[in-house]
């Protein structure tokens, strides 16, 4: 295997031998809830439970383990805004290798802290991944070191392909495996492994609506760069697919489908609420494709890869808030009331009597739409069931209040 050719099944079997001392063989968990929602028989491959919280550590370990003695002495370098950084730092620490990670300045602090905790030297530079990548290349030219690419490397692809070997050993009669696509390393590895083990198993790729570089490249039959990316699934937001991964997808993947941010967020919420599983948006994209029935191949035993669980806490709060609102387990109303003592208390008493638990209250007197002598009170409250809001609205109507339910 050279740097310019795709790995083979034998490379993934070899990688599995290397990795077994360092990673978990993650569970394959059947879900009655998601099976009922999708009409398929859903088994989730839980890479969100992997060491470092994502599949990325597999490829990183396989790549670092292959370094020569001289390369290990000079250390490794990577550019990443998240999971790849942690994977490389973890892998380097296991082999006693220095690691230097270039991350954009906007990288969430928790990801920076986690990467440093694995022993990496973290350098925050530039506003985008491309800026961090350029800085990493300049550093290698100046100081040496081996660059660990996040996806376009046969050893990285072989490491990710060990997930395919695990799934194949964990479940008989697989109809389809559903895999998120960013740069394409994960789906390339899984597709190569599965095609050689059982060519009848369908491989479905999933991209975010605001990051369709692989779909665009397939459509144009040449690697194509997207000018702009916009998605909450930052782990699969990649402007340009790899040369190797593009070839693998063309050759081995049956279909690439798209999910939007609302579908991804809803799926992340459902994973936490129904399955008690924390998944980042990119990790939930594959299950979103299954739940929202994006492919004709999603029947029988279907395996979505839940690729990671390292979600930004601010985003998690938004996902939970919106999920509860969508399920009518939380509601928000804006009520116009006289700016007098006791007026707000009368509304709160209605909510208390109906056992609606108040989450927060805000006031606004300065909006031009609020008459002088009045206050706009916005009240967010949790509900016992989906019918409770109608009862609350009825009581507010009886009191003659001006209000609006906010969505």
HEC assignment per residue over 196-247: HHCCCCEEEEEEECCECHHHHHHHHCCCCCCCCCCCCCHHHCCCCCCHHHHH
Concerning whether 56 is annotated as a catalytic residue, the answer is yes
Q: Contact at 8 Å (CB) between 27 and 171?
A: no
Identify the H or E element spanning 336.
strand 330-338
Task: Give the 3-state secondary structure of residue 6.
Answer: coil
> What values do phi and psi take at 302, rounded to 5?
-120, 135
Length of the chain: 407
Concerning whether 307 is annotated as a catalytic residue, the answer is yes
Gap between the Cα atoms of 53 and 280, Å rounded: 10
Which DSSP string do the residues of 87-137 spell out, in sequence order? HHHHHHHHTT--EEEEE-TTS-HHHHHHHHHTTPEEEE-SSSHHHHHHHHH
The two structure tokens encoding residue 162: 């060990």
Gap between the Cα atoms of 390 and 397, Å rounded: 10
Gap between the Cα atoms of 270 and 279, Å rounded: 10
The two structure tokens encoding residue 3: 């740097």
Which DSSP string do the residues of 368-381 spell out, in sequence order? TTSPTTEEEEEEEE
The two structure tokens encoding residue 61: 């370990």
The residue from 45, 56, 100, 111 that is catalytic is 56
The two structure tokens encoding residue 375: 């206050």
Strands in 76-79's sheet, in edge-to-edge order, are 121-124, 99-103, 76-79, 146-147
Gap between the Cα atoms of 152 and 134, Å rounded: 16
Q: Contact at 8 Å (CB) between 375 and 369?
A: no
Gap between the Cα atoms of 250 and 234, Å rounded: 24
Q: How many CB atoms lie under 10 A from the CB of residue 405?
A: 12
Positions marked catalytic? 56, 307
């Amino acid at each position: 295997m050279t740097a310019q050719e795709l790995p083979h099944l034998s490379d993934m079997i070899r990688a599995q031998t290397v990795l077994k001392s360092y990673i978990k063989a993650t569970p394959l968990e059947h879900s009655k809830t998601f099976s009922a929602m999708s009409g398929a028989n859903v088994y989730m491959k839980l890479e969100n439970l992997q060491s470092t919280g994502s599949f990325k550590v597999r490829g990183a370990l396989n790549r670092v383990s292959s370094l020569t003695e001289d390369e290990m002495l000079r250390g490794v370098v990577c550019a990443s805004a998240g999971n790849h950084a942690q994977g490389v730092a973890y892998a380097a620490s296991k082999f006693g290798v220095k690691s230097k990670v270039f991350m954009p300045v906007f990288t969430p602090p928790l990801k920076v802290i986690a990467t440093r905790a694995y022993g990496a030297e973290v350098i925050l530079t530039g506003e985008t991944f491309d800026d961090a990548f350029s800085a990493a290349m300049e550093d290698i030219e100046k100081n040496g070191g081996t660059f660990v690419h996040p996806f376009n490397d046969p050893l990285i692809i072989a490491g990710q392909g060990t997930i395919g070997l695990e799934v194949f050993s964990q479940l008989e009669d697989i109809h389809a495996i559903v895999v998120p696509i960013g740069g394409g390393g994960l789906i390339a590895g899984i597709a190569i492994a599965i095609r050689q083990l059982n060519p009848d198993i369908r491989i479905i790729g999933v991209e975010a609506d605001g990051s369709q570089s692989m779909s665009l490249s397939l459509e144009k039959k040449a690697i194509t760069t997207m000018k702009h990316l916009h998605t909450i699934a930052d782990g699969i937001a990649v402007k340009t697919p790899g040369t190797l991964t593009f070839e693998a997808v063309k050759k081995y993947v049956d279909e690439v489908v798209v999910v939007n941010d609302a579908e991804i967020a809803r799926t992340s919420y459902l994973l936490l609420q129904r399955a008690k599983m924390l998944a980042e948006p990119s990790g939930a994209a594959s299950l979103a494709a299954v739940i929202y029935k994006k492919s004709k191949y999603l029947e029988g035993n279907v395996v979505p890869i839940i690729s990671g669980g390292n979600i930004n806490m601010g985003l998690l709060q938004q996902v939970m808030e919106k999920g509860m609102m969508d399920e009518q387990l939380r509601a928000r109303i804006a009520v116009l009331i006289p700016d007098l003592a006791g007026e707000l208390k009368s509304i709160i008493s209605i909510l208390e009597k109906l056992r609606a638990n108040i989450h927060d209250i805000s006031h606004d007197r300065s909006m031009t739409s609020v008459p002088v002598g009045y206050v706009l009170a916005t009240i967010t409250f949790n509900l016992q069931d989906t019918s409770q809001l109608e009862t609350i609205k009825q009581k507010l109507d009886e009191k003659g209040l001006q209000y609006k339910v906010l969505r």
